[in-house]
Amino acid sequence: IVDEGPVKSWHKSVCRYCGTGCGVMLGMNKDKLVRVRGDQEAHNKGVICIKGSMLDKVMKSPERLKVPKIKKNGKLVESTWEEAMELMTKKFKENLDQNGPTSIGFYGSGQLLIEESYTANKLFKAGFKSNNVDGNPRLCMASAAVGYTQTFGKDEPPGAYEDIDHAETFFLIGSNAYECHPPLWERIMLRKKADPNVKIIVVDPRKTKTAVHADVYVPVLPGKDMLLLNSMCCVIAELGLIDEDFVGKYVNFSDGKNKITLDEYKKFLKDYRPEKVADELGITPRQIREIAYQFASSKATMSLWTMGINQRVQGVFLNNTLNSLHLITGQICKPGATPLSLTGQSNACGGVRDTGSLAHLLPNGRLIAKEQHRNEMEELWKVPKGTIAPKPGRHALAMFDGMVTGDVKAALIMCSNPAQSLPNNRYYREGMEKAFLVVSEIFEDTETAKFADILLPAALYIEKEGVYGQTERRYQIIEKLREPVGQARSDFDILVDFANRMGQGKLITYKTPTECWDEYRIISKSSKYDFSGITRERLRTERGIQWPCPSEDHPGTVRRYIKGDPFADKHVDANHKVHFYGKPDGKAVVFARPYIAGKEDVSEERPLFLTTGRVISQWHTGTMTFRVPELNHSAGPGRFVFHPSDAGAQGVKKGDKIEVESSRGKMEGIVDISRDHETPGVVFAAFYDQKFLVNNVVSDDHDPVSKEPDYKVTAISVKKLS
Ligand code: SF4
């Protein structure tokens, strides 16, 4: 709340930050944002967190980048837009001509608007024939996307936030919702208050602020939770709690290659009996049995997870197995029973997963590798058959690795800060130093902006218009309420201008975000992600609409795959109550996924696990929230946080300067101690602080399928410096 005069008009909008996608009301005094409050009519019912309540302060930061800059003699100096765009065009043309489409790339963000990601994706894949389109969502939810697609045949969660109001058991694993998705946590707490039968189970190596409020807290050791999920499935099978009626009608079983029977699946689970795995997990067999029974026997169980599951070398298997827990118990397709992966960024779902702005995807769930999907998109985009290259492009780590090796020579980075957020950071920064980088940014002093050869001032939040799609498939509009600062332009305008200069005016024919949205929503019609009924006019008046939404009179879909869903019903076999319409036979898949030990494990040489995450008052790499004094003061500078027993064993105390070493390198840091939230054997570090680049030592091991890096499990040693 600020005091810049009275509110002259209120406007509904969406929070700029996280994937909760809270509806906010913005109070404007002419072109000044003077008040922010939660939108009572939106899904979050007026509840917002401290970050959202201070959105106005970021808008007022005096540190905004206001003019384009070009690097000359190692220094960024002011230029005109014309100079900057001409140089960018020249460099990309040169590389395309001399080194081919694979020598260029686009690195985007789950914070770009849908119209911006869609345009970049179309321009690079259909215009420049380069599939090197990826972005920071690869770092946060690629495993969830693959997990859903493999299990249900289609990406994005089947359920919705509304399920919180119906669930009897909450199973939170790898989610610190208290700090990372506060309005959802508050909704869970309200549900618990309303019904004494409600139980909250939290599985996490750290005793987070979420874990503190759990009815049952299960402190598994880092990197081991595949053992736990399989063990829970084993207990459910042993207790006869598999819903054989549901499974018989709606589920196939697979070992990952071939179909298997339910009996073969049960046999696979025997290796995970609680007595066999509990020691390795660091818990007791009884704890596993208790939570498995609670999960299966509850009236409605809702799982919520986020980076603790996704950012893992077994991220896809973990996601598959969470989905499996719901399928084998029939805890799905009814209110309150659903697997719901939470999202980190405001538009990672809508802007990147749905638009297909990743190296292996095309819009609306289509795959680059499938000829039929490429042909469909070529027809829809009106480009000759064979335009889209058949080989997927470089995923995030591979794109920056390509810069190190010299294979990727020029890239456009928008709305993202990989120089701080990539793991094994020093290595990938070498690539940023070598390649020709055009960086579109709102501030000049971000870690990535330092590597820019051309720095373009970008419009922020209500300085532009477009659509965000949050966790539960809900599309919401942000209206433009003021002009950009200085000479800043929206990323959409930059991309359209760039397309024209690159001779792609016939491909990118639309001139405004509204025209772009209309093109995109119409092409969704031929897919199972159909949201063609979500018009701009509806977005302006309604409080977001959840897809599928196949016609303008369709209210949107709260839950997928259930009878009564008018869209899913189009695909329903008369004998099936439930239909997983992404699968040819309408059946979801339960995978027998083994636990495979990761390379990062503790040893005599490196006796502690480092795990990274967020704190409530800071968001991502802190480029915005670090500029808000109130948020900054409450977070304080980045630290390595130890349990007192580990600090004692390492001979360090609060405030000591230490050197932390991992297989990826060394860095210095300061010790903090927390008895309340850290557990023995685990050191925590948040990654928001630019002066404390913890990703320098974080391992870049990644899931082999989703290519999402593991930020949660790095073995470290500690040396006291002073
Ligand atoms: Fe914004 Fe996320 Fe906070 Fe909601 S929870 S106000 S979307 S930062």
Q: What angle do CA 558, 13, 539 make, to 5 degrees?
A: 50
Average pLDDT over the chain, rounded to an integer:
95
pLDDT confidence bin for 565, thresholds 50/70/90: low
| Ligand 1 neighbour 18 (Cβ under 6 A) | yes
Cβ-contact 180, 208 below 8 angstroms: no
Q: What is the pLDDT of residue 501?
A: 98
Q: What is the pLDDT of residue 586?
A: 86
Fold of 69-140+347-461+482-509: Rossmann fold (3.40.50)
Of the candidates 662, 615, 653, the one whose C-alpha atom is nearest the C-alpha of residue 634 is: 615
**Domain 159-340 is in which class?**
alpha beta
Cα–Cα distance measured from residue 501 to residue 85, given in angstroms and rounded to the nearest whole number: 8
**Structure-token pair, residue 252:** 């196939």
| Ligand 1 neighbour 177 (Cβ under 6 A) | no
Which pairing describes strands 436-441 and 454-457: parallel, antiparallel, or unpaired?
A: parallel
User: Could you tell which of 49, 617, 631 is best to mutate to test the pocket of ligand 1, judged by most ligand atoms within 8 Å of the CB?
Assistant: 49
Task: Read off the pTM.
Answer: 0.96
| Ligand 1 neighbour 51 (Cβ under 6 A) | yes
CA quadruple 430, 433, 436, 442: dihedral, nearest 10: 110
Cα–Cα distance measured from residue 541 to residue 552, given in angstroms and rounded to the nearest whole number: 13
Ligand 1 mean position to 474 CA, how many Å? 15
Ligand 1 mean position to 634 CA, how many Å? 17
Which pairing describes strands 474-478 and 466-469: parallel, antiparallel, or unpaired?
A: antiparallel
Ligand 1 mean position to 162 CA, how many Å? 17
**Structure-token pair, residue 631:** 């948020």
Q: What angle do CA 32, 34, 40 make, to 5 degrees?
A: 125
Q: Angle, nearest 10°, between helix axes 425-434 and 396-405? A: 60
Provide mean pLDDT across the span 549-567: 81
Q: Please write the tens of the pLDDT for every residue from 569-591.
A: 454 455 556 778 888 888 999 99
Long-range CB contacts (< 8 A, 24+ apart) of 535-539?
Answer: 536/477, 539/467, 539/475, 539/476, 539/477
Phi and psi dihedrals of 479, rounded to 5?
Answer: -90, 150
Cα–Cα distance measured from residue 178 to residue 180, given in angstroms and rounded to the nearest whole number: 6
The dotted CATH code for 9-59 is 2.20.25.90
H or E segment to which residue 106 belongs: strand 104-108
pLDDT confidence bin for 561, thresholds 50/70/90: confident
Sign of the CA dihedral with 63 first, then 65, 67, and 71 last = positive
Atom of ligand 1 nearest to the CA of 21: 7
Q: What is the pLDDT of residue 562?
A: 76
Coil/strand/helix, residue 436: strand
Ligand 1 mean position to 183 CA, how many Å? 7
Q: Which residues pair with 10 in a beta bridge?
A: 27
Atom of ligand 1 nearest to the CA of 470: 7
Of the candidates 153, 56, 62, the one whose C-alpha atom is nearest the C-alpha of residue 485 is: 62
Q: What is the pLDDT of residue 568?
A: 54
Q: What angle do CA 86, 89, 93 make, to 5 degrees?
A: 140
Which regions of 563-632 does DSSP assign to beta strands (E)?
Answer: 588-591, 608-613
Cα–Cα distance measured from residue 50 to residue 668, given in angstroms and rounded to the nearest whole number: 30
Cα–Cα distance measured from residue 581 to residue 702, given in angstroms and rounded to the nearest whole number: 30
Coil/strand/helix, residue 658: strand
Number of Cβ within 10 Å of residue 426's Cβ equals: 15
User: Could you tell which of 13, 16, 17 is best to mutate to test the pocket of ligand 1, judged by most ligand atoms within 8 Å of the CB?
Assistant: 17
Provide mean pLDDT across the span 665-684: 95
Provide mean pLDDT across the span 702-715: 98
Q: Please write the tens of the pLDDT for every residue from 453-469.
A: 999 999 999 999 999 99
| Ligand 1 neighbour 624 (Cβ under 6 A) | no
Cα–Cα distance measured from residue 254 to residue 588, given in angstroms and rounded to the nearest whole number: 10
| Ligand 1 neighbour 38 (Cβ under 6 A) | no
| Ligand 1 neighbour 340 (Cβ under 6 A) | no
List, in sequence order, the alpha helices (H) in 103-197.
Answer: 114-122, 142-152, 177-180, 182-194
Ligand 1 mean position to 15 CA, how many Å? 6
Provide mean pLDDT across the span 638-659: 96
Of the candidates 302, 330, 279, 76, the one whose C-alpha atom is nearest the C-alpha of residue 175 is: 302
User: Could you tell which of 51, 140, 179, 184 is best to mutate to test the pocket of ligand 1, judged by most ligand atoms within 8 Å of the CB?
Assistant: 51
Q: What is the pLDDT of residue 1?
A: 43
| Ligand 1 neighbour 22 (Cβ under 6 A) | yes
In the DSSP assignment, the letter for residue 451 is G
Protein residue whose Cα sits closest to atom 2 of ligand 1: 18
Provide mean pLDDT across the span 201-217: 97
| Ligand 1 neighbour 15 (Cβ under 6 A) | yes
Q: Please write the tens of the pLDDT for every residue from 436-495.
A: 999 999 999 999 999 999 999 999 999 999 999 999 999 999 999 999 999 999 999 999
Enumerate the domain spans of the chain: 9-59, 69-140+347-461+482-509, 159-340, 608-720
Ligand 1 mean position to 209 CA, how many Å? 17
Q: Please write the tens of the pLDDT for every residue from 289-298.
A: 999 999 999 9
List, in sequence order, the alpha helices (H) in 525-625.
Answer: 536-541, 566-569
Cα–Cα distance measured from residue 488 to residue 67, given in angstroms and rounded to the nearest whole number: 7
Residue 351 has pLDDT above 50, yes or no: yes
Q: What is the pLDDT of residue 569?
A: 47
Q: Please write the tens of the pLDDT for every residue from 66-75.
A: 999 999 999 9
This model of the complex carries an ipTM of 1.00
Provide mean pLDDT across the span 391-410: 98
Ligand 1 mean position to 181 CA, how many Å? 7
Of the candidates 76, 19, 129, the one whose C-alpha atom is nearest the C-alpha of residue 455 is: 76
Q: What is the pLDDT of residue 633?
A: 82
Cα–Cα distance measured from residue 385 to residue 373, given in angstroms and rounded to the nearest whole number: 11
Number of Cβ within 10 Å of residue 382's Cβ equals: 11
Residue 350 has pLDDT above 50, yes or no: yes
What are the CA-CA distances from residue 177 to residues 79, 188, 559 (Å)? Answer: 44, 10, 22
User: Could you tell which of 13, 48, 187, 476 is best to mutate to test the pocket of ligand 1, judged by most ligand atoms within 8 Å of the CB?
Assistant: 48
Cβ-contact 101, 309 below 8 angstroms: no
Phi and psi dihedrals of 406, rounded to 5?
Answer: 90, 5
| Ligand 1 neighbour 183 (Cβ under 6 A) | yes
Ligand 1 mean position to 14 CA, how many Å? 9
Cβ-contact 371, 349 below 8 angstroms: no
Ligand 1 mean position to 18 CA, how many Å? 5
Provide mean pLDDT across the span 627-640: 88
| Ligand 1 neighbour 618 (Cβ under 6 A) | no
- Asked if the 608-720 domain carries CATH number 3.30.70.1140, the reply is no
Coil/strand/helix, residue 133: strand
Atom of ligand 1 nearest to the CA of 18: 2
Q: What is the side-by-side order of every strand in the sheet holding 251-254? A: 259-260, 251-254, 588-591
Cα–Cα distance measured from residue 143 to residue 316, given in angstroms and rounded to the nearest whole number: 5
Provide mean pLDDT across the span 23-50: 97
Same fold, 69-140+347-461+482-509 and 159-340: no
Which pairing describes strands 9-14 and 23-29: parallel, antiparallel, or unpaired?
A: antiparallel
Residue 91 has pLDDT above 80, yes or no: yes
Residue 530 has pLDDT above 80, yes or no: yes
| Ligand 1 neighbour 17 (Cβ under 6 A) | yes
Of the candidates 197, 475, 206, the one whose C-alpha atom is nearest the C-alpha of residue 347 is: 475
Cβ-proximal residues to 258 (8 Å cutoff; 6+ apart), any chain? none
Q: What is the largest CA-CA distance in the chain?
A: 72
Cβ-contact 481, 33 below 8 angstroms: yes
Q: What is the side-by-side order of every strand in the sheet holding 199-203? A: 216-218, 199-203, 169-173, 301-305, 338-341
Residue 149 has pLDDT above 50, yes or no: yes
Number of Cβ within 10 Å of residue 477's Cβ equals: 24
| Ligand 1 neighbour 350 (Cβ under 6 A) | no
Ligand 1 mean position to 44 CA, how many Å? 10
Annotate 672-721 with three-state secondary structure.
EECCCCCCCCEEEEECCCCCCCHHHCCCCCECCCCCCECCCCEEEEEEEC
Cβ-contact 404, 420 below 8 angstroms: no
Protein residue whose Cα sits closest to atom 3 of ligand 1: 49
